[in-house]
Copies of this chain bind each other. A is one copy, B any other.
């Protein structure tokens, strides 16, 4: 019999995507709720009064804080922690002037380990318990991320980027080497602990057709691995990409040609998709990843989140920080800027949907909703505890908040890592255990 911990608080979990702000059947909220955790998993959840107690139970009272499933970040680059907030470029210039020079340092395994540890700690600080992470071209960068995640028992998805052209020599592999290194990393890490591998051709500009072919072969051989890449972020990128693949009618067609679309494929950005491309993503079950702080910061454009969702052939959606093209590690800040991007398109993103997207919605997008993303018996105990009164401005505003939706919207509009009172990783109180 393993020790049980009962987390008491205001609990919120989703059963499915809310269709509207008052679609109350889509979630379960308990004003005095409990999450019973043992062995890293949730073994029961419900009203505190109705959860059976046992001798030896430890009760942690988080009231009046909200307890939700931990946030999931569907697209981030850990090697860009020292690039975030670099001035004055759009996508291609930003890669060449800032990102690539920074990524060359990850040939040094010690540097990679240090930054990977800082990244994983930052995720915990922000209440993010799973991320889909791009490493550098160096296998040691992926080793660093995976070993750090394994030591912290975090559910992380990652892969070394495959790049065999249009990048500095120090950052390129070859079609063969990228393939073989990826194969070896899959063997070493995929399915170990809570780790999953993502086959990661960076994007079509930095991969030759031969490398995309190799990536597609890997995807066929490892159908339980993810594929992650970039798609249709920036107008100049799109034009350059199409010039490199003259036989392809559009950007998405390139990834289709090499077998890289599919239900485990995560396409970062998708800002400027044509209707045909959106159809192709729908038909293949692929995921479009919305990266609002990045799209704004790099001036890429406005991701059509609501249009993709509402079309006759809807496209699966995720939301992500895209650190370091994105400017914040926080999923709360990301939801705030996501709301703003959608507002500029004349639509709204309601907070019940927003928090679904950042938790269960992203879990569904990453095909891990059977393990994380909601609070239910059998799920892994990855949780975030949210303090809606974390700053003086939030405290004053909370005086007039009357509904759960208002509170969530306040959290995403005014909140940041200070609103993360605790982060549980497989049942372990991880944020309070961090130094500083």
Contacts and interface: CB of A to CB of B under 8 A. Distances in A.
Q: What is the interface residue range for chain A against chain B?
A: 35 or more
Given A413-B85, A414-B85, A297 B122 contact: no
Contact of A397 (B85, B299, B396): B85
A396 B81 contact: yes
Nearest to A346: B299
When all copies of this chain in the complex are counted, the total is 2
A400 interface: yes
18 contacts: A21-B87, A84-B413, A84-B414, A85-B409, A87-B350, A87-B351, A87-B405, A88-B350, A115-B396, A118-B392, A118-B396, A122-B392, A122-B393, A297-B340, A299-B344, A327-B336, A328-B414, A392-B436
A380 interface: no
A405 B88 CA distance: 11
Given A82-B396, A118-B392, A392-B125, A414 B343 contact: no
A109 interface: no
A397 B350 contact: no
A339 B293 CA distance: 11
A344 B84 CA distance: 18
A411 to B, nearest CB: 9
B297 A343 contact: yes
A410 interface: yes
A107 interface: no
A102 interface: yes
A329 interface: yes
A67 interface: no
Contacts of A405: 87
Contacts of A84: 393, 397, 413-414
B343 A296 contact: yes
Contacts of A425: none
Given A339-B297, A399-B82, A121 B392 contact: yes
A39 B346 CA distance: 52
Nearest to A411: B85
Contacts of A392: 118, 121-122, 125, 436
Interface in A349-393: 350-351, 391-393
Contacts of A115: 396
Interface in A95-143: 102, 115, 118, 121-122, 125
Nearest to A102: B400
A406 interface: yes
Interface in A34-87: 81-82, 84-87
A416 interface: yes
Given A102-B400, A329-B393, A393-B329, A410 B85 contact: yes
A348 interface: yes
A205 interface: no
A299 B343 contact: yes
Interface in A299-345: 299, 301-302, 327-329, 336-337, 339-340, 343-345
A88 to B, nearest CB: 5
A278 interface: no
A154 interface: no
A73 B81 CA distance: 31
Nearest to A327: B413
A227 interface: no
Contacts of A410: 85
Nearest to A293: B340
Contacts of A409: 85-87
A314 B364 CA distance: 51
A157 interface: no
A144 interface: no
Contacts of A328: 414
A212 interface: no
Contacts of A346: 299
A229 to B, nearest CB: 23
Nearest to A394: B85
